[in-house]
Chain A
């Protein structure tokens, strides 16, 4: 540790590499989380265990339509405690004093999602996702939705409710139907028709059995899946996760490689010194512990510096880039890098063990 303090320059190459890798991991992880949360927030926030779509929609909320008769059939299925209608319209919104349109996902809902109050009583009132603040949206403002400029008033804020990377607006079902009808007069829905149902199973019931019972009761007119499956079925979401995770795991591997190469070279350079240590009574374990500690301290310092850089980067990245730095991701990167640094430095163990103390003499 003394060497780290007195000769920090010696450790700079590994430190700089790990800072950059930390930055890369946090930015990649932040983008993955931003894309995932921004795409799926509205579905993850649903209060029910199950989401029911029309069977021809292939689990697409946008394509799905469930009429009032089917809604009634679902509500009567044994094991269903509550079923609430859900509808969405993906629209452009004009924000006062801003030239550019903001993409929003207007939701009409009956059962309040996590962190969202009960539906506003007043038609045209909506709760807005906090992410819309970055686009200049303010409480009390009137937003104009779609080409027909349907007005909605922001009456409060909610969090993590975006859908397909569009800012969530949450109003009652009438607000949704009216906005949808104004934007697409050809798509006006019959009264009582919703796009999907969020279904809560009674306590103790197996959600998958309830899902089968719903689809059976509607004669195959519906496809009911768990909330997790509904999220996983969002277009491109799984592919995004797989791609980003592959890059993240590769970066972790590169981190282990950097640390192992650095400490392999450092150990080679220090064979003479370690031989003297062994000659005066140091065990291989004591020497290796020092190597390990150095690797961990370098990793921790790099994590702090890389984390601060990532935080700084997230502040200057425009809101259109869906980056989201979370504590969970930071912990994952920290644990991953420390494990990789440990593994990387552990590769020097064999070399340390093989150092012959007799080589200190002659």
Chain B
């Protein structure tokens, strides 16, 4: 079973009489432990593709299947539940909650899902331990280094044991050396959990970390 399957997915934005096609009949498949790099210039549709894959947006046409579930027709409420249980996100600017400790930033995901508190706490501790943050779990994001914050963000993405992790421009604000360290960390963690991942990046130097690279231009996908 593939982690993600897009079949002729279109996304059209309406603005008065004008139509903007952000994604045009995109079809692709990501294996259940595959890491895919999605590369394209600004405005190419890569964020739209990522958002549709993660249930943040609904497609105008086509079919989106994540871990066997066809989410194309889900209403907003079911999409919320889907995001809570089936996908993990690592956001471009990390986006940790500034007043929560590293551990609480992980637990917040479990809280939204009303999971068993004891099990969630054990999972958060385990993830932080694996990410080398056991001694930093009580620190607030402001007390962590950039790399540590990135690791907390990765931990948060894995908190709900997702079938698919979506990573948005993880190196955009970093220099090459730090960017490579972050990519290495992400890839190591994704592989360690046999999880599928899509990494959106504009930085071609980072694509070698992925199993496969897809290019997207003007909403159209092309295999590299």
Question: A residues touching B (Cβ–Cβ < 8 Å)?
Answer: 2-3, 6-7, 272-273, 276-283, 286, 357-358, 360-362
Q: Nearest chain B CB to A353's CB is how many angstroms away?
A: 10
Cβ–Cβ contact B47 & A280, under 8 A: no
Which of chain B's residues 105-154 have a Cβ closer than 8 Å to chain A?
108-109, 112-113
Say yes or no: B97 contacts A279, CB within 8 Å. Answer: no
Nearest CB of B to A224, in Å: 65
Mask: chain B, 45-64; 1 = CB below 8 Å from A; 0 = not:
00100110010110000000
In the complex, which residue of chain B has the Cβ closest to the Cβ of A358? B56
Report the number of A-B residue pairs with Cβ-Cβ less than 8 Å.
68
List the A side residues contacting B83 at CB < 8 Å.
Answer: 279-281, 357
With contact pairs A281-B113, A282-B112, A361-B51 given, residues A7 and B89 touching in the complex (Cβ less than 8 Å): no
Main secondary structure on A side of the interface with B = helix
Count contacts on B: residues with CB < 8 A to the other chain.
Answer: 28
**Is B74 at the interface (CB under 8 A from chain A)?**
no
Contact B95 A358 (CB under 8 A): no
CA distance A277 to B108 in the complex (A): 9
Structural contact, A358 and B99, CB atoms closer than 8 A? no
Which of A6, A272, A282, A283 is in CB contact (< 8 Å) with B95? Answer: A272
Least CB distance from B21 to A in Å reads: 17
A3 to B77, CA, bound (A): 27
Partner pick for A362 among B47, B99, B100, CB 8 A cutoff: B47
In the complex, the answer to whether B99 meets A281 with C-beta atoms within 8 Å is no
Of all A-B residue pairs in the complex, the 6 with the closest CB atoms, nearest first, are: A281-B84, A362-B47, A358-B56, A282-B112, A281-B83, A276-B95
Query: What CA separation (Å) do A118 and B99 show in the bound complex?
Result: 67
B222 at the interface (CB under 8 A from A): no
Partner of A277, one of B54, B77, B92, B112: B112
Closest to B80 in A: A283
Say how far B57's CB is from chain A's closest CB, in angstroms.
5
Q: Which of A2, A7, A282, A361 lies in contact with B50, CB distance below 8 A?
A: A361
Cβ 8 A contact of A6, one of B50, B80, B99, B168: B99
Give the residues in chain B near A358, CB-CB below 8 Å.
Answer: 51, 56-57
B91: interface (CB < 8 Å): yes
- In the complex, which residue of chain B has the Cβ closest to the Cβ of A353? B76
Known A-B contacts A279-B56, A281-B85, A281-B160; A286 and B91 likewise in contact (beta carbons under 8 Å): no
- Assess whether A280 is in contact with B112, with CB atoms less than 8 Å apart: yes
Smallest beta-carbon distance A357→chain B, Å: 5
Instruction: Give A344 to B107 CA distance when docked, in angstroms.
Output: 29
* B-chain residues with CB within 8 Å of residue A278 when the two chains form the complex: 80
Shortest B211–chain A CB gap in Å is 22
Instruction: Provide the residues of chain B in CB contact with A7, threshold 8 Å.
Output: 99
